[in-house]
Amino acid sequence: MMTNRWPHMALAVLSGLLALAVAAAEAFTQGPRGFGRPVVLGPDDVQVLPDPPAGFEIPQVGIPRGQVEMISYDSKSVGTTRRMQVYTPPGYSKDKKYPVLYLLHGIGGDENEWQRFAQPNILLDNLLADGKATPMIIVMPNGRAQKNDRAEGDVFRSAPAFAAFEEDLLKDVIPTIESRYSAAADREHRALAGLSMGGGQSLNFGLAHLDTFAWIGGFSSAPNTKPPAQLVHDPAATKQKLRLLYLSCGNKDGLIRVSQGVHAHLKEHDVPHVWNVDSYGHDATHWRNNLYHFVQRIFTQDE
Ligand code: FER
């Protein structure tokens, strides 16, 4: 018997169209690259550190100030001359050795991004005047390790260059700083932190090189973060070496699932860490506020 197939075909076409419409609606509401994904908060996803006091980012009057300078270095792995910003604290002197924080930017940024979002020099000058931080050098390199390292065009295409930065950091950036500045050159005096792509880089490189870094921070870490079990594959060793592991994310940031996954793994394996979930999004306020907290908690042995 001949059956009429038209109703079936019409149905198939209709459900195909419906699936497309649902996918388009999801792409629209979740935004590109997961920024707008729905945030699902668990019981641990709470703010453990208060927002900084009013005026923390405004230069205090009459206090000594550090300096920020742009320097160039030859990168062997990239094959070009690259740039980084270097903050030296007030009273910087060759007679002392300073710990160093390497501070990494996001996917759309470069060596100037942290200065634009947070002015780490102002935060540090203020904290030092109040006796709330250890004098340190802060290095803001360019984490896009490729010949054209400007944030141009579709910045997501440069994601592989953010992975390649591991070699530039370890073999060129750190040796440059330790040869040109009065820097203490051991793991207890090196910290690595960053925002978004830079957060992922800090977790990936820092936890893989605990002989180089003892203090690690990831703010709003991006999906370039390695899977948690890969990041911390030997929890006992990680625990023994880490001085601080600081994770933060805003509760309006669609990328929060990345940090939630890292926190869950650390908790499961009893690796001490800070997990601070504040009320911001993927934005400069979150990065500035959490940098303020992070810098007060590093290099505390030097106090
Ligand atoms: C992604 C979403 C966001 C991603 C990277 C980012 C590599 C980075 C964001 C930032 O640095 O602000 O899917 O993939």
Instruction: Give 6 Cα–ligand 1 centroid separation in angstroms.
Output: 46
From CA 97, how far away is CA 136, in angstroms rounded?
9
Query: Which of the two residues, 1 and 210, has the higher pLDDT score?
Result: 210
CA angle 100, 90, 88 (to 5 degrees): 35
Nearest CA to ligand 1 atom 13: 33
Q: What integer pLDDT is reported at residue 15 of this predicted model?
A: 63
Q: Look at residue 176 and tell me if it is in a domain.
A: yes
- Output the six-digit token pair for 243: 């001085």
Overall number of domains in the chain: 1
From CA 98, how far away is CA 183, in angstroms rounded?
5
Tell which atom from ligand 1 comes closest to the C-alpha of 282: 12
Paired strand residues for 274: 246
Mean pLDDT lowest for which of 1-5, 38-42, 195-199?
Answer: 1-5
% the chain with pLDDT above 90: 87
Pocket test for ligand 1, best of 104, 158, 197 (most atoms within 8 A of CB): 197
Give tens-digit pLDDT for 143-165: 999 999 999 999 999 999 999 99
Q: What integer pLDDT is reported at residue 44 of this predicted model?
A: 98
Tell which atom from ligand 1 comes closest to the C-alpha of 195: 11
Instruction: Give 7 Cα–ligand 1 centroid separation in angstroms.
Output: 45
Query: Which of the two residues, 1 and 30, has the higher pLDDT score?
Result: 30
- Output the six-digit token pair for 183: 């820097």
Nearest CA to ligand 1 atom 14: 223
Q: Look at residue 168 and tell me if it is in a domain.
A: yes
Mean pLDDT lowest for which of 8-17, 73-82, 168-177, 180-189?
Answer: 8-17
Average model confidence (pLDDT) across the chain: 93
From CA 70, how far away is CA 112, in angstroms rounded?
9
| Residue 27 pLDDT > 70 | no
Pocket lining: 75 vs ligand 1, CB cutoff 6 Å: no
Pocket lining: 223 vs ligand 1, CB cutoff 6 Å: yes
Rounded to two decimals, what is the model's pTM?
Answer: 0.91
Give tens-digit pLDDT for 251-299: 999 999 999 999 999 999 999 999 999 999 999 999 999 999 999 999 9
Q: Look at residue 302 and tell me if it is in a domain.
A: no
Pocket lining: 267 vs ligand 1, CB cutoff 6 Å: no
Tell which atom from ligand 1 comes closest to the C-alpha of 33: 13
Give tens-digit pLDDT for 53-103: 999 999 999 999 999 999 999 999 999 999 999 999 999 999 999 999 999
Q: CA torsion angle for 77, 143, 113, 288 (degrees, to 10)?
A: -140
Q: Look at residue 53 and tell me if it is in a domain.
A: yes
| Residue 13 pLDDT > 70 | no
Q: Look at residue 303 and tell me if it is in a domain.
A: no
Q: Give how far Cα 218 sits from Cα of 8, 120, 142, 192, 203, Å.
A: 53, 16, 17, 9, 6
Pocket lining: 196 vs ligand 1, CB cutoff 6 Å: yes
Q: Look at residue 188 and tell me if it is in a domain.
A: yes
Pocket test for ligand 1, best of 37, 107, 220 (most atoms within 8 A of CB): 107
Pocket test for ligand 1, best of 113, 219, 220, 224 (most atoms within 8 A of CB): 224
Contact indicator for 178, 200 with CB cutoff of 8 Å: no
Q: Look at residue 23 and tell me if it is in a domain.
A: yes
Task: DSSP letter for 103, please.
Answer: E
Instruction: Give 224 Cα–ligand 1 centroid separation in angstroms.
Output: 7
Contact indicator for 176, 168 with CB cutoff of 8 Å: no
Instruction: Give 222 Cα–ligand 1 centroid separation in angstroms.
Output: 5
Q: Give how far Cα 119 sits from Cα of 75, 126, 132, 199, Å.
A: 26, 11, 17, 18
Contact indicator for 195, 162 with CB cutoff of 8 Å: no
From CA 104, how far away is CA 139, in angstroms rounded?
9
CATH of the domain at 60: 3.40.50.1820
Q: What integer pLDDT is reported at residue 23 of this predicted model?
A: 45
Average pLDDT for 130-140: 98
User: Residue 131 belongs to what domain range?
Assistant: 2-297
Q: Look at residue 241 and tell me if it is in a domain.
A: yes
From CA 203, how far away is CA 221, in angstroms rounded?
8
From CA 134, how far away is CA 137, in angstroms rounded?
10
Pocket lining: 157 vs ligand 1, CB cutoff 6 Å: no
Other Cβ atoms within 10 Å of 88 Cβ, number: 19
